Amino acid sequence: MQQQELYAFKRDRFVNNAISELEDANRSPIDGYQDLPLMPLEQATETIVPLVSNLRNYVAQAKQKCNQDFKILTWDESAAIYLYTMPTCFFSHLNKALRDENRHALKPWFAYLKLIMHALEQLPSVETDVWRGISTDTDSNIRQNDTHRWWSLNSCSTDLKVVKLYLGDKGTLFAIRSHYGKDISLFSAIESEHEVVLMPGTRLHVKSDVLNFEDRHFIIYLEEIQQFIQTASAASIFVQQPSKSSQLHLNKDDEARAQRITDLPKEPYRYLSPLWGYDAVPVVSLEEAVKPLVSLLPAVQSYAYIAKQKCMKPADDLTQNESAAIMLYTMGWEPLDQCLYHALNTVLRSEDRQQLQPWFLYLKLLLTALSQLPPMMPRTLYRGIKLDFSNKYSMDEKLVWWSFTSCTESINVLSSELFLGKTGSRTMFAIETNSGINIRNHSFFKKEDEVLLLPAREFKVRGRLDQGGGLHVIQLREIQPPAPLLQPVTIGKY
């Protein structure tokens, strides 16, 4: 392939000739591919072989060269992303089909679309600033406070230099605040491009009119305002996710956060042995801390790597490893029993304390990090569950929550259907405590405060109230046991 042609293919993934190439006129849902089974890449691309010249060769290269070191994706899923990022005409054919008013033009792509969308769904969403561009100086269709929807699979870079290189001496840069983009740099054919993709149907809010930027370029500030989700009755439906596990197709990261704040049924409601032993191990890097967990959590090293990359400049004087240990705890992935926070809390609730030993290195790093964050002033925190637990908590009863406990400061958060909702049997806990730790600066979720209570906190039931409509409120106050139930950590920087 000639160098000029190679450059053109690379450029076209990050730069368009006009805004219309991102939007076109289609307003129809992208529907139908999600019902197909997952197929090997060779089979998933067979129906588009007539549309893309030399495709079988590209597929073979992708299968051979793709990243197989991170078990978060299967071989075929990794190869599907690699194929998309290869400097060939493949990605342009796919995006043309995604933007086509004739949805039948997309049908040959269904099997591949199912595979790559499923792959992207496994990757955590990233909240970061990304860049892409158009080669024209400005576009009269873009005005402050407008909303635009981009229909293609949009490649962006976290590195401005990459996009400026492809944009050349003039053009318009899009500075995009991404909330749901997928960082595919580990699986890209060109890792140095630091690529983040925005999903088909992404909605963007225009935060500024066109501004001058470094004399030769213009810049427009955008913010991603809604993920590629759909409700059954929405008037502006656009993309369906690969699975049908939820009518609302909720963001998996939000589901993970909701799971942490509503997992009370698994607490044992009895006194167990104190949590002890981990302080004897040294403070090590996050990579070393998760090595004993690989047999339990096959994808943990991949997520640990992503956490480290997102914690380059940690707040609160924590080290990168300490900050990343907290972030890793807040990340969610499937299957749930192989997700770190779920597996760790299950072990903390177990009577068999021997199960905790593989976790000692990670637990020491995590508790060391949390112990250096300032405790909050005395206040009331909230958490809850969509069940009636009023008969499990008697007035003046003492109890211990053995796992890490995620709470929120805002009672309004719990009214969301993602958490408690407003109908059916529900129990809300109002917790008076002075030991909550706000982990927002180190959480994978930056949009809302998450307050963490350490394991083995003891409480006393101070009140119970039937609010009617299925809602029960239980008031708890944290108390200090006569001796620690959680071994204090000896602070030591890595």
- C-alpha 338, offset from chain centre: 16
CB 475 within 8 A of CB 430: yes
Q: Is the pLDDT of residue 62 over 80?
A: yes
Q: Which two tokens stand for residue 227?
A: 């993920």
Query: How many Cβ atoms are within 10 Å of 8's Cβ, its own excluded?
Result: 13
Q: Give the whole-angstrom CA distance, residue 388 versus residue 293.
A: 35
Confidence of residue 248 (pLDDT cuts 50, 70, 90): very low
Residue 381 is predicted with a pLDDT of 93
- C-alpha 341, offset from chain centre: 14
Q: Looking at per-residue confidence, does 419 or 378 come out higher? A: 378
Q: Is the pLDDT of residue 84 over 90?
A: yes
Q: Which two tokens stand for residue 191?
A: 């890792």
Reported as a single tens digit per residue, the pLDDT across 192-231 is 899 999 988 888 889 877 776 665 778 889 999 854 433 2
Reported as a single tens digit per residue, the pLDDT across 387-407 is 888 888 899 999 999 999 988
Confidence of residue 461 (pLDDT cuts 50, 70, 90): very high
Helix (H) or strand (E) holding 324: helix 320-330
Q: Give the whole-angstrom CA distance, residue 436 versus residue 450.
A: 10
Residue 233 is predicted with a pLDDT of 26
Q: Is the pLDDT of residue 243 over 70?
A: no
CB 155 within 8 A of CB 195: yes
Least confident of 124-133, 157-166, 408-417: 408-417
Query: HSE on the CB side for 488, CA within 13 Å?
Result: 5
Residue 56 is predicted with a pLDDT of 96
Q: Give the whole-angstrom CA distance, residue 360 versus residue 345.
A: 13
Kindly state the average pLDDT of the residues 256-273: 63
Residue 343 is predicted with a pLDDT of 95
Q: Is the pLDDT of residue 424 over 50?
A: yes
Least confident of 164-173, 222-231, 306-315, 368-377: 222-231
Best CA proximity match to 327, nearest among 457, 335, 336, 318: 318
Which residues contact residue 153 at a Cβ distance below 8 angstroms, ignoring those fewer than 6 apart?
Answer: 84, 91, 94, 95, 98, 116, 197, 198, 199, 200
DSSP characters over 146-179: -EEEE-S-EEEES-HHHHHHHHTTSEEEEEEEEE
Reported as a single tens digit per residue, the pLDDT across 296-318 is 999 899 889 889 988 989 999 99
Q: Is 427 helix (H, G, I), strand (E, B) or coil?
A: strand
CB 225 within 8 A of CB 204: yes
Is the Cα torsion angle 249, 252, 257, 262 positive or negative in sign? positive
Eight-state DSSP code of residue 475 = E
Residue 344 is predicted with a pLDDT of 96
Q: Walk me through the domains of the chain, giving residue ranges and CATH numbers.
A: 3-244 (3.90.176.10), 254-479 (3.90.176.10)
Is the link from the previous residue into 335 a cis peptide, with omega within 30 of 0? yes
Residue 168 is predicted with a pLDDT of 79
Best CA proximity match to 125, nearest among 341, 466, 447: 447
Residue 242 is predicted with a pLDDT of 37
Tell me the pTM: 0.58
Q: Give the whole-angstrom CA distance, residue 300 versus residue 294.
A: 6
Whole-number average pLDDT of the chain: 83
Kindly state the average pLDDT of the residues 459-464: 94
Kindly state the average pLDDT of the residues 228-240: 32
Least confident of 82-86, 219-223, 239-243, 434-438: 239-243
Least confident of 20-29, 321-330, 353-362, 440-449: 20-29
Q: Which two tokens stand for residue 285?
A: 């890097």
The most confident of the ranges 222-226, 341-345, 413-417 is 341-345
Q: Is the pLDDT of residue 48 over 70?
A: yes
Q: Is the pLDDT of residue 3 over 60?
A: no
